[in-house]
Amino acid sequence: MRNTPPETTPFFARDRAWHPPALTPGYKTSILRSPQRALISLEGTRSEITGPVFGHNILGEFDNDLIVNYAKPGEMAIGERILVHGRVLDERGRGVAGALVEFWQANAGGRYRHKKESYLAALDPNFGGFGRTITDEEGNYVFRTIRPGAYPWPNGVNDWRPAHIHFSVFGHGFAQRLITQMYFEGDPMIWICPIVKTIPDEDAVKGLIAALDMNNNIPHDMRAYKFDIVLRGRRSTLFENRKEGN
Which residues participate in catalysis according to the annotation? 112, 151, 161, 164, 166
Query: Cis peptide leading into 152, omega within 30 of 0?
Result: no
Helix, strand, coil % over all residues of the chain, rounded to 5: 10, 25, 65
DSSP structural state of residue 56: G
Q: How far, in Å, are 12, 30, 228, 236 from residue 96 at the CA level? A: 15, 31, 11, 17
Q: What does the alpha-carbon distance between residue 191 and residue 106 come to, in Å, rounded to a whole number?
A: 20
Q: What does the alpha-carbon distance between residue 60 and residue 123 come to, in Å, rounded to a whole number?
A: 24
Half-sphere exposure of 177 (CA within 13 A, CB side): 11
- Please tell me whether residue 140 adopts helix, strand or coil conformation: strand
* Angle, vertex CA 22, rays to CA 173 and CA 11, nearest 5: 20
Q: How far, in Å, are 5, 69, 80, 105, 245 from residue 223 at the CA level? A: 38, 19, 9, 18, 41
Q: What does the alpha-carbon distance between residue 28 and residue 37 come to, in Å, rounded to a whole number?
A: 19
